[in-house]
Structure 1
Amino acid sequence: MTLDRIAPALFVLLWSTGWIVAKYASPHADPLTFLGLRFTLAAVLFAAIVLFSSAAWPSTRAGWGHAFLSGVFLHGIYLGGVWWAISQGVPSSISGLVAALQPLLTAMVAPFLVGERLTGSQRLGIVLGFAGLSVAILPRLTALDTSTLQIALVPLLVNVFAMASVTAGTIYQKRYLQQGDLRAIAALQYVGGFLVVMPLALLIEPMRIDWNLEFALAMAWSVFGLSLISIMLLLYLIRRGQVSRAASLTYLVPPAVAIESWFLFGEALTIPMIVGTVIVVFGVWLTNRKTRVVA
């Protein structure tokens, strides 16, 4: 079994644990402070990998700049915005619904920015993915009262902005970072993410960290499981496939989080969630399947 075949499923499984880690870590550290430390450790880890593997750093100033800027989009603004929004009361179901807009937005702008052409089945897959995610999450949204939504308005807008940022970062990565060693690029991207979250943490957070076992476990998984393995898989998928295909994988993340939450925390796995997951999986298959080109 080749990496091309297992990488999408492995990425979804690992990336979905980010929401689980956030739940474990939130009582023990402020979100931006946690991310600042996470990005620091991840950058050091990737730099060590580059050093000991004799991988090449970007050979031009532009290459370094592209790597830093893509990290600003993919890590700093996106993860910083999502983690802060959730810490301010945005329910994970709403955050997941906002994240589901990314593949649709990516598909809309990719033809203009990177020259991708979507087939009819890919367009249908994107629509089905959004529809399935809506089926899975809308019952939770309708259960929220108006006052809760009003209180979370600013964090919700930050969450939307974060979604737009990861869309921009994915397309930027595809356009400007097709060459170069992925390990070196990842190290520089985490530096770019750090330059966003740490100044904000200094500005708006008391930078609280409870140095206990739960915090250590959450940080270890965040660095090795998410920042190392998951990001390498994402960068690999972006480089090997279409932007829209890589982005469509985010459809599977919220249903995966729901299943993990049911298993780990006993949260209800409802009929709409199950039905929506089936529709989502079919939509992702349509978007990612390889079609034969007829001459």
Structure 2
Amino acid sequence: MTENSVQSSETLIIKSMPIIFVFLWSTGFIGAKMGLPYVEPMTFLALRFGVCILFMVPFVLMTRTRWPTRRIDYFHISIGGLLMHGGYLGFVFLSISKGTPAGISSLIVGIQPLIVAALAGVLLKENVSLQKWIGLLLGLAGVFLVVFNKLSVGEGTLFGMSFSFIALISISAGTLYQKKFCSHMNIKSGNLIQFVVAGAYFYLMSLLFETGEVIWSGELVFALLWLVIILSLGAMTLLYMLLRKGAAANVSSLFYLTPPCTAVVAYFLFDETLGALALIGMGIAVAGVALVNYRFKKAGST
């Protein structure tokens, strides 16, 4: 294989990373939906991160991974883990366990790029133009239309949907925090630190608020392994690599693509559908994200 062929292959892999990330990330909602009938959400997540740690410890030790040298780095990595894993995943799983459809939960959290794009200007000194602010408003309007039909389906669903909005806040804050304070962390040791912190958090929550009962089944084992290998070890690593390479607002824009991807998979697996108003709202949200991320060329430019 020639040097040019190797470079072309590497370029193709780098360019395909966002597409792979979007697909892998969107399946997280499906894994939650599949496993939660057999186990309570905090117990499920405690198991998930326990298995993650079992996978990561020997890998990190065998590869002689570099560890943070300052205590403050351990602190920042831990806070990032609590936001990205503890707050985000915890409330998504709670939301779905309370009856929120996977597609709706995904769509609510999918507004994250618009929030990050707006806040990145203030917190990370990234440029936020009037065009991006218009996109933010359009995206919020789109999400409102998507969830509007759900406002009359009962208190349980409304209660469950509120957890998805808390998850949205957590993943937005986590993305900004990770970009600002953890962008130079070693991916392997940093992931392990965050897995340990998240695992301890979910184990404590399961002890305080749940029975710890697990009904072992083929679906639960499949969902658990999928979430560990594909999401925690695969998608999360890709996310941190992408954050290291690009602006927070640009990387976060990928999250917008997960709702339609999740909705399609949920349609085939769980017969979840979105009504006409929800589809219109999704289209408006798409337009909003496009305004946030697309740079219009000035007249006469090439």
Q: Does TM-score exceed 0.5, indicating one fold?
A: yes
Aligned residue number for residue 110 of structure 2: 100
- In the alignment, residue 70 of structure 1 is paired with which amino acid? G
Aligned residue number for residue 184 of structure 2: 179
| 1:223 correspondence with 2:228 | yes
| Alignment CA distance shift 1:269-1:102 (3 Å) | closer
Question: Which of residues 70, 86, 91 in structure 1 aligns to 2:80?
Answer: 70
| Alignment CA distance shift 1:94-1:266 (3 Å) | closer
| Alignment CA distance shift 1:290-1:185 (3 Å) | farther
Question: Which of residues 195, 203, 212 in structure 2 aligns to 1:207?
Answer: 212
Question: Which of residues 116, 120, 126 in structure 2 aligns to 1:116?
Answer: 126
- In the alignment, residue 211 of structure 2 is paired with which amino acid? P
CA apart distance, 1:172: 0.8
- In the alignment, residue 170 of structure 1 is paired with which amino acid? T
Aligned residue number for residue 2 of structure 1: 12
Distance in 1 between residues matched to 2:115 and 2:22, nearest whole Å: 19
* CA RMSD of superposed structures (Å): 2.8
Aligned residue number for residue 175 of structure 2: 170
Query: How many percent identity over aligned positions?
Result: 34
Question: Which of residues 53, 59, 83 in structure 2 aligns to 1:49?
Answer: 59
Distance in 1 between residues matched to 2:296 and 2:247, nearest whole Å: 13
Question: Which of residues 152, 173, 198 in structure 2 aligns to 1:145?
Answer: 152
Aligned residue number for residue 8 of structure 2: none
CA apart distance, 1:181: 1.0
Question: Which of residues 268, 273, 276 in structure 2 aligns to 1:263?
Answer: 268
| Alignment CA distance shift 1:92-1:213 (3 Å) | closer
Pairing 1:181-200 to 2, within 5 Å after superposition? 181-200=186-205
Deviations 1:247-289 (A, max 9, x none): 2222111111111122334444666666666665565455445
Q: Which runs of 5+ in 1 are unaligned?
A: none
CA apart distance, 1:205: 1.0
Deviations 1:210-236 (A, max 9, x none): 222221111110100111110011111
Aligned residue number for residue 6 of structure 2: none
Query: Which is higher, the Rg of structure 1 or of structure 2?
Result: 2
Distance in 2 between residues matched to 1:94 and 1:278, nearest whole Å: 14
Question: Which of residues 26, 30, 37 in structure 2 aligns to 1:27?
Answer: 37
Distance in 2 between residues matched to 1:220 and 1:176, nearest whole Å: 30
- Is the CA contact (8 Å cut-off) linking 1:56 and 1:180 kept in structure 2? no
- Is the CA contact (8 Å cut-off) linking 1:252 and 1:280 kept in structure 2? no
Query: Any idea what SS the aligned residue of 2:211 has?
Result: coil
- In the alignment, residue 149 of structure 2 is paired with which amino acid? T
- Is the CA contact (8 Å cut-off) linking 1:73 and 1:193 kept in structure 2? no
Pairing 1:81-96 to 2, within 5 Å after superposition? 81-96=91-106
| 1:233 correspondence with 2:238 | yes
- The TM-score with structure 1 as length reference comes to 0.85
Query: Any idea what SS the aligned residue of 2:208 has?
Result: helix
- Is the CA contact (8 Å cut-off) linking 2:118 and 2:128 kept in structure 1? no
Distance in 2 between residues matched to 1:58 and 1:288, nearest whole Å: 34
Count of matched residue pairs: 289
